[in-house]
Amino acid sequence: MATFPALKPNSRTFTPGQFPATPITTLTGDELSVRHTNSSNSYFLRLGFTGLTTDQHFEITSHYMIHGRFQPFDLPTEATAGANLSFPANYQWIYVRAPQTQYDPGVISVSVELELVPPYFV
């Protein structure tokens, strides 16, 4: 699938993934945890782009229109530049929701929220 547009974000929020586990509270007050798998999921990345051109804005919106919430895709290095983030092999990103656009006169800002998911085939 098409890689996310190679645009450098102006802001970025990262939430590391979770390892599926179920907490169990015993009668003595101990809080135990049962882990179900070695894999992790629910990595989130929120990217903010400010001052986009209309062409750059169209790159993002058309990418979303093609992939929607359904088709996973890869991220370019520009999206995570400088943060030294690492992710499980072969995982890909999907949109959490549609990109949000704010259009002040002359300034286009877009907020994109992505989730990292294990590989699957579509």
Binding site for another protein (CB under 8 A): 11-19, 21, 23, 27-31, 33, 35, 40, 42, 82-84
How many other CB atoms are there within 10 angstroms of residue 120's CB atom?
Answer: 7
Q: Which of 16, 33, 17 is nearest to 25 (CA)?
A: 33
Minimum CB distance to another protein smaller for 1 or for 117: 117
How many other CB atoms are there within 10 angstroms of residue 108's CB atom?
Answer: 17
Minimum CB distance to another protein smaller for 30 or for 55: 30
Min separation Cβ 43 and another protein, Å: 8
How far the first Cα of the chain sits from its last, in Å, is 10
Minimum CB distance to another protein smaller for 33 or for 53: 33
